[in-house]
């Protein structure tokens, strides 16, 4: 049953002091869906960008108004950014002479030809219908979607593909023969859950990134309701909430596993999309993720279905472990695996691991106290905690040189009340913990 504020006339209205939630009605044909998405992005002043946070539908987008306001010259170039030159600079910064030498022989034509080659290989892949029913026809659908987007924006569809992180990553690994520049960042995101309270479960989440990503995040955190035709899966709210119409939620946190090689030609699957579209509860989500183990990673992931059933999945490039808890809380934080085999695989002796482990232990300590009286205020105290040296709420000027990430948005979510309180970093910077939250409510049709 939906709360007051249910949608009328196709709009997802909220309380008077809230904001309307965007709705994307997914089309049955990929090309039509691409056109629909592109027209919506154009109307909202969005443009494509190769680097930064991937947002809607996992395409890289930036907000034109934010780019102008923040004076981000690189972002303003959008898909005109010279990726080869960009990667050369990364190789120089990473002191990788071999990767730099290989990049010297590449140009734009060769780059786009390689995109086409990788894309055709992906389209040609065939997988067991019995083991992987969820992705049958997915590559063809996404190919048509990309072409619809490209035609609407009037750009080469291969450039649109490069704005999807998995494609850009596959191409980069081919060019550099396996060197991961811009290494998978040491970590982003913390998610904390009180399994129950007087207002039901309470979810807190912080997203961290480099402050240069502000232009990419000005609209990244806004929730978007993806309304799928019933025969194509469950509808869900993406961007930040990542909860579907069945009440299943999944959140991720980035993590690096430098001791494990990344396959050059991994089939790029959006595991979050699959879980939300096809799973009703944690049991089904874990089963799906284990089946698709070799299709995604690395990442930490937390799944929760509102019944108190929850699990953290620590996932490397090829391996995973599941962590559960009997406590009234569960959480994950960036850059640290605590299951024994995963910690060893990650390299638990490094300085960055120990830095992130301190935050893990801090959150654990905070939760043992705050769960005695779980509330919105208690969750806010956890998510805005600034205890050094590895705080939950990270301010860039307080972070060590090897961890140049800051808290760019923060939210608290009440799934039973269908309320979402969102805070976003502002230019200055003014961090989310210093901002008044924007309130959203939602209702699935």
- Give me the CATH number covering residue 386: 3.60.60.10
**Residue that wins the pLDDT comparison between 3 and 94:** 94
**Predicted pLDDT at 123:** 94
Calculate mean pLDDT across residues 102-124. Answer: 93
> How crowded is the C-beta side of 144, counted as CA atoms within 13 Å?
12
Q: Is 234 helix (H, G, I), strand (E, B) or coil?
A: coil
Calculate mean pLDDT across residues 326-336. Answer: 94
- Give the pair of three-digit tokens for residue 415: 């799934």
Domain containing 257: what range? 190-441
Among the candidates 175, 209, 231, a domain finishes at 175
**Predicted pLDDT at 165:** 83
Residues 391, 317 share a domain: yes
Residues 365, 218 share a domain: yes
Kindly state whether residue 5 falls inside one of the protein's structural domains. Answer: no
Residues 239, 364 share a domain: yes
Residues 139, 255 share a domain: no
Among the candidates 152, 175, 198, a domain finishes at 175
Residues 201, 119 share a domain: no
Residues 207, 160 share a domain: no
- The pTM is what? 0.90
DSSP state of 404: -
Percentage of the chain modeled with pLDDT above 70: 89
The reply to whether omega before 172 is within 30° of 0 (cis) is no
Residues 152, 265 share a domain: no
User: How far is it, in rounded angstroms, from Cα 377 to Cα 442?
Assistant: 22
Kindly state whether residue 1 falls inside one of the protein's structural domains. Answer: no
Chain Cα centroid distance, residue 341: 25
Kindly state whether residue 72 falls inside one of the protein's structural domains. Answer: yes
pLDDT digits 0-9 by tens, 387-444: 999 999 999 899 998 888 899 889 999 999 988 898 988 877 789 999 999 888 888 8
Q: Is 75 helix (H, G, I), strand (E, B) or coil?
A: helix
Say if CB 269 and CB 136 are below 8 A apart.
no
Lowest mean pLDDT across 56-65, 101-110, 245-254: 56-65
Kindly state whether residue 185 falls inside one of the protein's structural domains. Answer: no
Kindly state whether residue 180 falls inside one of the protein's structural domains. Answer: no
Closest CA to 234 of 249, 221, 220, 219: 249
Residue 195 reports pLDDT greater than 50: yes
Residues 204, 114 share a domain: no
Kindly state whether residue 6 falls inside one of the protein's structural domains. Answer: no
The reply to whether omega before 298 is within 30° of 0 (cis) is yes
Residues 137, 63 share a domain: yes
Quote the radius of gyration of the chain (alpha carbons, Å): 21
**Predicted pLDDT at 268:** 77
The total number of structural domains in the chain stands at 2
User: How far is it, in rounded angstroms, from Cα 338 to Cα 354?
Assistant: 11
Kindly state whether residue 362 falls inside one of the protein's structural domains. Answer: yes
Give, in order, the Cα–Cα distances in Å from 280 to each of 227, 243, 276, 332, 368.
16, 10, 8, 21, 29
Residues 149, 70 share a domain: yes
Chain Cα centroid distance, residue 278: 18
**Predicted pLDDT at 215:** 66
Kindly state whether residue 225 falls inside one of the protein's structural domains. Answer: yes
Residue 187 reports pLDDT greater than 70: no
Residues 51, 153 share a domain: yes
Strands 249-253, 299-304: pairing is: antiparallel
Residues 332, 198 share a domain: yes
Among the candidates 175, 206, 241, a domain finishes at 175
């Amino acid at each position: 049953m939906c709360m007051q504020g249910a949608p009328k006339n196709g709009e997802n209205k909220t309380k008077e002091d809230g904001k309307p939630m965007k709705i994307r009605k997914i089309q049955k044909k990929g090309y039509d869906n691409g056109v629909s998405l592109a027209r919506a992005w154009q109307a909202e002043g969005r443009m494509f960008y190769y680097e930064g946070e991937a947002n809607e539908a996992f395409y890289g987008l930036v907000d034109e108004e934010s780019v102008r306001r923040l004076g981000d010259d690189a972002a303003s170039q959008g898909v005109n950014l010279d990726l080869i030159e960009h990667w050369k600079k990364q190789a120089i910064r990473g002191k990788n002479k071999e990767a730099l030498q290989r990049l010297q022989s590449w140009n734009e034509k060769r780059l786009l030809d390689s995109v086409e080659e990788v894309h055709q290989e992906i389209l040609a892949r065939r997988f067991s219908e019995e083991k992987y029913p969820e992705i049958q026809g997915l590559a063809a659908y996404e190919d048509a979607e990309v072409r619809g987007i490209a035609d609407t924006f009037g750009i080469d569809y291969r450039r649109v593909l490069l704005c999807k992180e998995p494609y850009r990553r596959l191409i980069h690994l081919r060019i550099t023969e396996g060197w991961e520049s811009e290494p998978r960042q040491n970590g982003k995101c913390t998610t904390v859950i009180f399994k129950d309270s007087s207002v039901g479960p309470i979810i807190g989440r912080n997203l961290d990134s480099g402050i240069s990503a502000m232009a990419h995040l000005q609209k990244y955190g806004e929730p978007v309701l993806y309304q799928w035709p019933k025969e194509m899966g469950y509808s869900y709210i993406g961007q930040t909430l990542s909860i579907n119409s069945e009440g299943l939620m999944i959140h991720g946190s980035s993590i690096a596993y430098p001791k494990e090689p990344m396959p050059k030609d991994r089939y790029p699957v959006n595991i979050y999309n699959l879980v939300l579209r096809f799973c009703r509860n944690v049991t089904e989500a874990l089963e799906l993720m284990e089946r698709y183990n070799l299709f995604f990673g690395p990442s930490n992931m937390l799944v929760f279905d509102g019944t108190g059933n929850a699990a953290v999945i620590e996932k490397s490039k090829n391996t995973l472990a599941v962590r559960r808890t009997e406590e009234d809380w569960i959480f994950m934080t960036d850059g640290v695996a605590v299951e024994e085999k995963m910690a060893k695989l990650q390299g638990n002796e490094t300085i960055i691991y120990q830095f992130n482990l301190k935050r893990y232990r801090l959150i654990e300590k905070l939760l043992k106290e705050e769960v005695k009286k779980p509330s919105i205020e208690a969750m806010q105290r956890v998510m805005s905690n600034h205890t050094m040296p590895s705080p939950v709420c990270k301010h860039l000027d307080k972070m060590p040189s090897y961890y140049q990430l800051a808290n760019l948005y923060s939210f608290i979510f009440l799934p039973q009340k269908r309320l979402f309180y969102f805070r976003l970093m502002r230019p200055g910077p003014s961090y989310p913990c210093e901002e008044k939250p924007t309130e959203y409510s939602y209702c699935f049709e």
